[in-house]
Amino acid sequence: VSSAPLASTLYHSNDFICGSDALAAKPQNRHRSAKTNSEGKYVCCSMILNNNKLPNLVGFLDVLNHFVDQPLKLMWLDMSFNKLKSIDPVLCKLHELRVLYLHGNRITKIAEVDKLKELQHLRTITLHGNEIENQKGYRRYVISNLTQLKMMDFSAVTRDERVMAGIWRHSKIQSKGTKESSHD
């Protein structure tokens, strides 16, 4: 295990269609001082895979393991402007993730956001530019399910939004309980 700080960012913007495409390419590195370990893996805390053509994250952990010294310590991930239709549960293995950019994809079901609940350190998310953005209550839904968020779609989550999302979440839970007890 490396003791060097995780400080740099890998950029992997090409025309990747699947994870194996990324394995064959050399990542770009904005910071010339970026460190690599004895195996040639980058010691970094962020990865940018935006502007590709990825429809899913099959093989994503393989890509991370191939290039990154401590992949499960990734804190910032940019998957914006791909062709993702869902939020892959593989993202939940990145327990240290604090920033996740998913804007400009093809996510259609708002319930996909629920998969990210276990990312307790997640503070910033972008989802605009997906079809879910057009669903009624989109922002409130995301804030009520990811209660630790500080920023959503490049806009601060306000105290009032947090309060309203809590009230909305509470009413949904009560409504669900009432429906279940009426079916008994």
Provide the whole-model pTM: 0.82
Can you give the residue ranges of every domain in the chain?
Answer: 1-83, 95-184
Strand duo 151-152 + 155-156: pairing: antiparallel
What are the CA-CA distances from residue 53 to residues 6, 21, 22, 61, 105 (Å)? Answer: 28, 11, 11, 17, 10
As beta bridge partners, residue 78 has 48, 101
Fold of 95-184: 3.80.10
Q: pLDDT, tens digit, for every residue of 28-59?
A: 555 555 688 888 888 889 888 898 889 999 98
114-164: per-residue pLDDT in tens?
999 999 999 999 999 999 999 999 999 999 999 999 999 999 999 999 999
Confidence of residue 27 (pLDDT cuts 50, 70, 90): low
